[in-house]
Structure 1
């Protein structure tokens, strides 16, 4: 590995940034590159002799390709080839199934593998040309005929076909149960029972999926890919095409949003590789916005929940079952119902989770997968039961506060949810909330206040980190991590700078290259605890090495690490800065041009398995509803989060507020509609797939509770913040709409027609 990777991947803080410490609000080191255009994304990498590929999308939901007529396409000037399942380069089969795993686990789709069509929009050919324009025109001339089979894309009409998941992806824990929830529900004096529903959502990051494959003279492929893991994409390419990993390098220095859509390699990657291997030249493939709707999505989900309590508000039964869609290719699973066994204290818990095969692409993780839907259903149900009890919704949750995980009978590694409730309620002014619905009005609008709880796993994975201190005092820290807009460049540099007492501008964190030390996918809110823990460990090893060099000086004789400090690029005995030695001088005296240390970050498995490890939040929102138009506006939002030690207050708050924006969008706007006659998503563009825009979003206040967790993160005391911000937001909005209108809406999104119609039952069987 070289010391310095090309500057595409090495943003550093501006001169004068100075010393940093955990909890500071630090601007992104990569911010200037992004706003000035210096940051190059996967579709912007220059390459000699570059050809352009355009994907031809299928038009039927299920069947086989009977014939592909490419004659007209090949006649377009500049067209080099039309690649189909009949003439593609050799690929390994899908029969490896779950032994053939990328993250998340399973068997990712392999385009053009056979004549089989699994969903509408599936890629059926790739046109490669000297120019993008020629390829695009030629792609429109490709004619495909099919043997069409009967398809099924209607989850709610096929719930009776549900089955328990077969071999499961890594990280999935089948739901358990405790006590006798059915009996407790039957005998409890206060209860609710209802169905809930969440529509399909698509990720829609601003940067569309793209891969630029640079074909080297020796056949080496250097691939610039939109992905949440360069090593994940390299693994996929090398295994699918039978290439040595030394023949493939994948880079993702900048990623323009992903939200889970880049966890698995998407189909433009193998298509671009096919073109490069077949033609022995560089090829770029960029998906269109419409094609961004033709792969994984947040799965459609149906829930049934039964909650029961005694007359004092103590929960007697929690019963939650969910059914989700999956593809006919594999079983995609999420942890949907498990949260219902963790959030509240209850001795009788029943959880169930099943799948229904549909003729759609395999769903894929989307921000807080499973929790965004599962907690929505639970938290709306909790609000319903609070009203049955005539209790304040926050008081009801506090009444059933779980001091430990009741389902698994484990203590929490840390839990400051009470603090979140208190801080959020105080900031929001919850004590002034009238209990009765329809109690507040402002002109033509009804005003409602709602709240909900959020929860997400605190994950730690395995990573390797290298830290190199150079003779001029520069520190270069490296790992094959990714920055999908979360602030990874900045936070990792902060951890290293604080650990070695260096100004931030003297630290460079390198990521986004598969040749760098091992890193997991950037997902699950695990990068800070995992890669960040590795950065801290590598820097601690550097400190030990530097102390050994310093011990040659009289002032450091016999001193241990606990006896010294690292500040302003120096090492000195505690409280004696005048005895300090510049780190650059230490290296010069030792005749060293550089010192390198490596660290393997692993979870404290034996210790961690004894605890339930989670981040928590309390979300409070205000809505205003015009009943005559059915319009709902969110006018205030407060999110209080307990996520361990916060490393960068600015990027952490940005992560949470961005997630709250998405939660509002999930609650009120986002839904991908299917025409079941065609088995096709219909609103596959930004004009018709509604997302929240500036006018839909109020000022969002983010509060971090005082918390530290050395079980999750021994090195940092931190947890992740990327997912937790969205969890509970849609439920808080739905609960606020009920408080405003007295209308209980149990589906997302809450669109004007549902508000106008009133109580909205889940349309099962329609």
Structure 2
């Protein structure tokens, strides 16, 4: 099915199942421990061995020698895989560094060997017996040091320029210019990276924790040098990924190599201290923002330049993306700057680009609003636009930022906020409110599905779509139930298998909308097939309550499958509506904090997110997504930072003891409001994504609230106690 024109009325619009707050259909499996994750398939596969990965102890250089003898003699050891004995390996397009290093070393904790033994403990013990000699080379590990030498845009990401920024900036009545920094951050998903592989002749099956099945299959095949048809990927349940599991990672490759060498199934789990440096992370940024307005607060000039670093061949953190679209202004400049750093690979982490960019932009907006003397909510509303600021001929398909801010302000009682900082106290707590706009572009991706009508009237949906804790099982089931007019409990959903039709996968906030649109397409074809089977006009046929009705006839759905199961397959493909309309999602984030006047401790008292993100397919699962994102925003604002040892070239706090993330006690009250925002330009589902929007802007709202509470403006995240303590008002 080709989606080339805005959607009109269709069966999904009945909202009998879609749009309802159904419980997650996979919930009972997860709460009873019967949902199998990547490291747990050994119950169904016999004779599984365990692998233990060894990472490089240097960040850059080469291996001079590797003595495996003692490890090979260690009890239970079956084989040891290294780059020297693994055979010729290719490299996929989506990894910057090689997943198995040697002799050249590209970053700290790059995998250099896998010890395979009968038990995990035996593999781990043997791994510690391997002696490696290195030839260390000098590297670059500090973005701030590298920044002065990087002034031009990368060749493939030129600056975006509209109007004459320099002249407009110079003549602006009110100016704000500042630099903001965000640190390297780790995904810290609950489930570690884990895989199990088994070979059958020249075919390999990989049970893994991966968000994008088709990508993983293609990349593993390319790396192993085999046809992708000989690779089967299985990932039905994923315990979080946040982008760290978008691509093939070392656990998957090492499991496949280990199983081939051991001639038996092998499972590999990356230990928590290994993950931060071996997999990927959100790169640090240094962001330079300039905003100029006239006397009334209208933006006349806006510039946003962002520096980030990556390995050679890596990509920049796209932290200026939202600045291209969020506010009006005739004279604009945005640009990315990429330094070569020899730290582990920087790559996608939940809301890549906007999450880091809004941390800076939405503080800068508050700062210029204060200089102009306008309430920060009103300043954002004043500078709203319904057209793409860089292309005024292109309208937004739906843009309700003003409604998000207005409704949020009313609900949050923003009118109670005291504009002058450090004026409100509650005992020892300085209390403040902050606001920020949320923005995330809407993306869509081709997505396919296979749907079966069973003889008992049950529907079975198969697609390689994944569920990373987002509720994919449920909304896909809801889509099929709505389209065929059956209750949700008559739908069976099977996900995460490369034998199923290729879907959009989970990432970039495109998964829910695209994958359900793919199921919609398959269900349209199934409806046509059923109607033909029953001798009814497909265009007139109505599917409801287990029946098909048309031309004065009402026939049980099961009659169509009397001769046996009916199977159809289709996919959604998107035309050029994204070129005709700017498609984005919006939010208003409001936060109230308390800051201890003596210690600088920050406590989140209240949080509110008002979101305009297309049709909400399931308010219950969507709310959970936004609450989780808001919580992640608290981490980004107040505590999360991978600390770089700029001499040794690695992230020091590479475990959950040193890398702090929020817990329940850190947050008081959270509330989420979804606006009616059906968007017929987006897809037949009229939906968009919401899981990343809930993160975008949250950190800045917290920073703005801290400023309102204390009068201390922090532009370097995270906002830790040391950045507040010596600047707090006197304790009385």
TM-score (norm 1): 0.90
| Partner residue in 2 for 1:97 | none
| Partner residue in 2 for 1:599 | 570
| Partner residue in 1 for 2:358 | 375
Alpha-carbon distance between aligned partners in 1 of 2:290 and 2:17, rounded to the nearest angstrom: 47
Verify: 1:550 aligned to 2:534, yes or no: yes
| Partner residue in 1 for 2:65 | 67
- Aligned counterpart for 1:249 among listed residues 232, 235, 238: 232
Alpha-carbon distance between aligned partners in 2 of 1:166 and 1:615, rounded to the nearest angstrom: 27
- Does the C-alpha gap of structure 1 residues 586 and 271 become closer, same or farther in structure 2, counting only changes over 3 Å? closer
The answer to whether the 8 Å contact 2:102/2:112 transfers is no
Give a deviation string over 1:121-142, Cα, whole Å, max 9, x none. Answer: 1112111111111100011111
Count of paired positions: 710
Verify: 1:144 aligned to 2:126, yes or no: no
SS of alignment partner, residue 119 of structure 1: coil
Q: Which runs of 5+ in 1 are unaligned?
A: 1-18, 95-99, 760-766
The answer to whether the 8 Å contact 1:108/1:265 transfers is no
1:51 Cα deviation after fit: 1.5
The answer to whether the 8 Å contact 2:97/2:106 transfers is no
1:477 Cα deviation after fit: 1.4
1:34 Cα deviation after fit: 0.6
1:376 Cα deviation after fit: 1.4
| Partner residue in 1 for 2:4 | none
Alpha-carbon distance between aligned partners in 1 of 2:541 and 2:498, rounded to the nearest angstrom: 36
| Partner residue in 2 for 1:538 | 522
| Partner residue in 1 for 2:672 | 702
SS of alignment partner, residue 698 of structure 1: strand
SS of alignment partner, residue 432 of structure 2: strand
- Aligned counterpart for 1:23 among listed residues 14, 19, 22: 19
Tell me whether 449-458 or 52-61 shows the greater mean CA deviation.
52-61
The answer to whether the 8 Å contact 2:100/2:250 transfers is no
- Does the C-alpha gap of structure 1 residues 88 and 560 become closer, same or farther in structure 2, counting only changes over 3 Å? closer
- Runs ≥4 residues deviating over 4 A: 163-168
Alpha-carbon distance between aligned partners in 1 of 2:332 and 2:515, rounded to the nearest angstrom: 36
1:22 Cα deviation after fit: 2.2
Give a deviation string over 1:601-654, Cα, whole Å, max 9, x none. Answer: 11122x321111100000000010113201111100000000111110100111
Give a deviation string over 1:142-196, Cα, whole Å, max 9, x none. Answer: 111111111221111110232656575xxxx654111111211111111111000
1:548 Cα deviation after fit: 2.3
| Partner residue in 2 for 1:359 | 342
Give a deviation string over 1:324-358, Cα, whole Å, max 9, x none. Answer: 01113x22233211311211110010111110111
Alpha-carbon distance between aligned partners in 2 of 1:335 and 1:447, rounded to the nearest angstrom: 33
Alpha-carbon distance between aligned partners in 2 of 1:478 and 1:527, rounded to the nearest angstrom: 15
Alpha-carbon distance between aligned partners in 1 of 2:564 and 2:318, rounded to the nearest angstrom: 50
Give a deviation string over 1:535-561, Cα, whole Å, max 9, x none. Answer: 11111222122222333xxxx6xx553
The answer to whether the 8 Å contact 1:744/1:758 transfers is no
- Aligned counterpart for 2:119 among listed residues 95, 106, 131: 131
SS of alignment partner, residue 177 of structure 1: strand
| Partner residue in 2 for 1:14 | none
Verify: 1:89 aligned to 2:73, yes or no: no
- Does the C-alpha gap of structure 1 residues 560 and 115 become closer, same or farther in structure 2, counting only changes over 3 Å? closer
Alpha-carbon distance between aligned partners in 2 of 1:415 and 1:63, rounded to the nearest angstrom: 51
- Does the C-alpha gap of structure 1 residues 611 and 42 become closer, same or farther in structure 2, counting only changes over 3 Å? same
Give a deviation string over 1:689-743, Cα, whole Å, max 9, x none. Answer: 1110110022210000111111111x11100111100000000000001111111
Give a deviation string over 1:288-319, Cα, whole Å, max 9, x none. Answer: 00011122100010000011111111111101
Alpha-carbon distance between aligned partners in 1 of 2:408 and 2:434, rounded to the nearest angstrom: 12
Verify: 1:349 aligned to 2:332, yes or no: yes
1:580 Cα deviation after fit: 2.3
SS of alignment partner, residue 343 of structure 1: coil
Alpha-carbon distance between aligned partners in 2 of 1:600 and 1:255, rounded to the nearest angstrom: 24
Alpha-carbon distance between aligned partners in 2 of 1:390 and 1:167, rounded to the nearest angstrom: 40
| Partner residue in 2 for 1:613 | 583
| Partner residue in 2 for 1:729 | 698
SS of alignment partner, residue 377 of structure 2: helix
- Aligned counterpart for 1:215 among listed residues 176, 194, 199: 199
The answer to whether the 8 Å contact 1:20/1:497 transfers is no
| Partner residue in 2 for 1:54 | 52
The answer to whether the 8 Å contact 2:35/2:237 transfers is yes
1:75 Cα deviation after fit: 1.8
Alpha-carbon distance between aligned partners in 2 of 1:256 and 1:655, rounded to the nearest angstrom: 14
- Aligned counterpart for 1:569 among listed residues 543, 546, 556: 546
Alpha-carbon distance between aligned partners in 2 of 1:682 and 1:424, rounded to the nearest angstrom: 40
SS of alignment partner, residue 473 of structure 1: coil
- Aligned counterpart for 2:629 among listed residues 653, 656, 659: 659
- Does the C-alpha gap of structure 1 residues 758 and 199 become closer, same or farther in structure 2, counting only changes over 3 Å? farther
SS of alignment partner, residue 143 of structure 2: coil
- Aligned counterpart for 1:33 among listed residues 29, 33, 38: 29
Alpha-carbon distance between aligned partners in 1 of 2:560 and 2:85, rounded to the nearest angstrom: 61
SS of alignment partner, residue 346 of structure 1: coil
SS of alignment partner, residue 378 of structure 2: helix
SS of alignment partner, residue 223 of structure 1: strand
Alpha-carbon distance between aligned partners in 1 of 2:461 and 2:151, rounded to the nearest angstrom: 47
Alpha-carbon distance between aligned partners in 2 of 1:676 and 1:113, rounded to the nearest angstrom: 22
| Partner residue in 2 for 1:120 | 108
The answer to whether the 8 Å contact 2:116/2:262 transfers is no
1:113 Cα deviation after fit: 4.6
Alpha-carbon distance between aligned partners in 2 of 1:401 and 1:654, rounded to the nearest angstrom: 29
Alignment of 1:457-496 (within 5 A): 457-496=441-480
| Partner residue in 2 for 1:240 | 223
Alignment of 1:666-681 (within 5 A): 666-681=636-651
Alpha-carbon distance between aligned partners in 2 of 1:174 and 1:227, rounded to the nearest angstrom: 32
Alpha-carbon distance between aligned partners in 1 of 2:701 and 2:413, rounded to the nearest angstrom: 15
Give a deviation string over 1:227-250, Cα, whole Å, max 9, x none. Answer: 002222111111111112232111
Alpha-carbon distance between aligned partners in 2 of 1:114 and 1:431, rounded to the nearest angstrom: 61
Alpha-carbon distance between aligned partners in 2 of 1:64 and 1:140, rounded to the nearest angstrom: 20
The answer to whether the 8 Å contact 1:88/1:112 transfers is no
SS of alignment partner, residue 748 of structure 1: coil
TM-score (norm 2): 0.95
The answer to whether the 8 Å contact 2:283/2:317 transfers is no
Give a deviation string over 1:44-64, Cα, whole Å, max 9, x none. Answer: 111222111101111111111
The answer to whether the 8 Å contact 2:154/2:336 transfers is no
The answer to whether the 8 Å contact 1:84/1:125 transfers is yes
Verify: 1:511 aligned to 2:495, yes or no: yes
Tell me whether 672-681 or 363-372 shows the greater mean CA deviation.
672-681
